[in-house]
Amino acid sequence: MRVICDKCHGKARITTRREITPRFTKLYCVCNNAECGHSFVMHLEFAHTISQPASPQRPSIGNLLHDLTINQKQT
């Protein structure tokens, strides 16, 4: 994935990623241009499926548990 700085339009690198939900992640980025040095956050979000997978994917137990509410987990 290529990340571009919106200030100088140079290449930037992702230093950290924080998954908010399985479909939404915050990317913490820093511009590679030493004269710019801009640090910023970008959002990476799943939008929609274009083509279904060839074989159906079974969700893992971890993903199923992650999606439960606190009350459901306690039950």
Residue 59 lies inside a defined structural domain of this protein: no
Q: Give the structural domain span for 41.
A: 1-46
Residue 67 lies inside a defined structural domain of this protein: no
Average pLDDT, the chain: 90
Provide, rounded to the nearest whole percent, the portion of the chain with pLDDT above 70: 97
Residue 71 lies inside a defined structural domain of this protein: no
Q: In angstroms, how far is the first alpha carbon of the chain from the final one?
A: 41
- At 11 the pLDDT is 98
pTM of the prediction? 0.66
Average pLDDT on 10-17 reads: 97
Residue pLDDT, tens place only, 17-29:
999 999 999 999 9
**Tokens 């290449």 identify what position?**
11
For residue 42 the two structure tokens come to: 């970008």
Residue 63 lies inside a defined structural domain of this protein: no
- At 24 the pLDDT is 97
